[in-house]
Amino acid sequence: MSGVLYLLPSPIGSAPAAALPRDVIAVAHRVKHFLVENAKSARAFLKQLEHPTPMLQLSIIEIGHAPHEAEIAGWLAPLQQDLDVAIISEAGCPAIADPGATLVAAAHRNGWTVTPLVGPSAIVLALMASGLNGQQFRFVGYLPIATDERAAAIHALERASETGETQIFIETPYRNVTLFDALLTHCAQTTRLAVAAGITTEEAFIEQRTIGQWRQGRPYVNARLIKRPAVFSLLAEPGQPIFTGSA
């Protein structure tokens, strides 16, 4: 026998923890061993869930943004003792553009049960609200920071999306405006771009337009993107020419 490794989602933005399904909250209440991206936010989340065990009696281990392989066996040791463990990311679903995948892989290698729980994923929510192709899509994570490399990546994604495959990517909040401006500079007029910022918050901004339409409202959009978590989704028209001028 062994414990279960649960992938426990947490709210995005200002959404209340109570918005999670009751079954998910019930599982969280049973678990006493947590592996978390950020200890402070995890404790706040568990307090919002009204975890019945005092915080000081819970095992809350911070794994950070890039878990060290050498630490994983120790972190997952409670599973060998038939104790359940839950992974919590800072926001959203563990292992989806968040830490956790290496721990999940280790659990599989040892034959331990892995159970994902239902909750919000900014990537999935953004795709749902984008109006772009939800049958074929690819999440590519972060684009390069260097100007030339980022431009090349944008051109490549735009070409790839001509097959009908929506290209989804994210950026560090303080570089959102730079990425948005690069998309308007390097993409063709008819390419469709969906921008979702602050998903699940009262100030959520979710819109889809062509690049040509976005260029006309650039100042307004820039103000909505500054230092806010955002997801970008791109879909080009087949056979369109690459835009090489400045917007």
Q: How do strand 192-197 and strand 230-235 relate by DSSP bridges?
A: antiparallel
Helix (H, G, I), strand (E, B) or coil at 14: coil
Asked if the model's pLDDT at residue 122 lies above 90, the reply is yes
Average pLDDT, integer, range 54-81? 95
Asked if residues 209 and 192 have their Cβ atoms less than 8 Å apart, the reply is yes
For the beta sheet containing 205-210, the strands, ordered from the edge strand earlier in sequence to the opposite edge, are: 137-142, 166-170, 230-235, 192-197, 205-210
Q: What pTM did the predictor assign?
A: 0.88
Question: Architecture of domain 122-235 in CATH?
Answer: 2-Layer Sandwich (3.30)
Asked if the model's pLDDT at residue 94 lies above 90, the reply is yes
Token representation of residue 115: 């159970």
In the chain, what are the domain boundaries?
A: 4-116, 122-235
Distance in angstroms (rounded) separating the CA atoms of residues 227 and 225? 6
Asked if the model's pLDDT at residue 241 lies above 70, the reply is no
Helix (H, G, I), strand (E, B) or coil at 33: strand
Return the CATH fold of 4-116.
Cobalt-precorrin-4 Transmethylase; domain 1 (3.40.1010)
Instruction: Decide if 4-116 and 122-235 have a common fold.
Output: no
Give the model confidence (pLDDT) of 183-200 as tens digits: 999 999 999 999 999 898
pLDDT at 32: 98
pLDDT at 247: 45
